[in-house]
A and B are shown apart, each in its own frame.
Chain A
Amino acid sequence: DIQMTQSPSSVSASVGDRVTITCRASQGISSWLAWYQQKPGKAPKLLIYAASSLQSGVPSRFSGSGSGTDFTLTISSLQPEDFATYYCQQANSFPLITFGQGTRLEIK
């Protein structure tokens, strides 16, 4: 199984900050990577697909990059509604899917 490792596990930041979250795959996954945002008590929401494509309706301050084994999610200027937990997910081995362990983004 492909393992997905996110870092950091948690990060504290302030409104207006630029934040980067990293996801590393245990083997190459091309660009078959997605990012999700999850708020407490809610289902995850798709933000980015194909490593760098923005899902419809998602603000442009969110961006994704990477290919192969190393990927990043960047929020260019944090807004109050962005404080949440973020997950990466690989689909290279579809239909066998794996998620990262999550990164909790907290208010400093």
Chain B
Amino acid sequence: QVTLRESGPALVKPTQTLTLTCTFSGFSLSTSGMCVSWIRQPPGKALEWLALIDWDDDKYYSTSLKTRLTISKDTSKNQVVLTMTNMDPVDTATYYCARIRALGVDDSSGTFDYWGQGTLVTVSS
């Protein structure tokens, strides 16, 4: 079955760089149409899409955060890594990784059908 799991530090200091790893199983990121995204959710607030990497190693970022984000993948390890620079207390959130398939793959393309459990990252000195 498909599973995803986020890992990384629970606490980072302001101005530091956050590195999160998504380790997944049950699918391959080298399969055509397969993608993994990062989404975050500040406490009590809405979901915010951050970044996506696809099977062809193309990378896409939120317009508002693109200067601070880098997404990469290690297909052999079934891992996707997100880095976010210059962390600020407003970046305190639960960070999720989720699977999504490119449009046209099947009827449920473009939706997040499997999610990790999320990891809470607090930014504080």
Q: Which A residues lie at the B interface, using CB under 8 A?
A: 1, 32, 34, 36, 38, 42-46, 49-50, 53, 55, 87, 89, 91, 94-102
B-side interface size class: 20 to 34
Q: What's the least CB distance linking A46 to chain B, in Å?
A: 5
Known pairs A43-B117, A96-B63; list 4 more (Cβ under 8 Å): A44-B96, A44-B112, A95-B102, A100-B46
Q: Which residue of A lies closest to B62 (CB)?
A: A96
Q: Which B residues lie at the A interface, using CB under 8 A?
A: 35, 37, 39, 46-49, 52, 54, 60, 62-63, 96, 98, 100, 102-103, 107-113, 115-118
Check if B46 sits within 8 Å of A32, measured CB to CB.
no
Check if B116 sits within 8 Å of A43, measured CB to CB.
yes
Q: Is the interface of A mostly helix, strand, loop or mixed?
A: loop
**Bound form: Cα–Cα A43–B109 in Å:** 19
Query: Which has the most chain A C-beta neighbours within 10 Å: B100, B102, B107, B116?
Result: B100
* Among B49, B96, B103, B116, contact of A98 (Cβ-Cβ < 8 Å): B49
> Which 10 interchain pairs have the tightest Cβ spacing?
A91-B110, A43-B115, A34-B111, A97-B49, A49-B108, A95-B60, A99-B47, A49-B111, A95-B52, A101-B46
Check if B96 sits within 8 Å of A32, measured CB to CB.
no
Q: Which residue of B lies closest to A45 (CB)?
A: B115
**Bound form: Cα–Cα A97–B49 in Å:** 6
Check if A95 sits within 8 Å of B46, measured CB to CB.
no
Check if A50 sits within 8 Å of B108, measured CB to CB.
yes
* Among B49, B109, B116, B118, contact of A99 (Cβ-Cβ < 8 Å): B49
| 24 residue pairs A–B, Cβ–Cβ below 8 Å | A34-B110, A34-B112, A36-B112, A38-B47, A43-B98, A43-B115, A44-B115, A46-B108, A46-B113, A49-B110, A50-B107, A50-B108, A53-B107, A55-B113, A87-B47, A89-B111, A91-B110, A91-B111, A95-B35, A95-B52, A96-B60, A97-B37, A97-B52, A101-B46
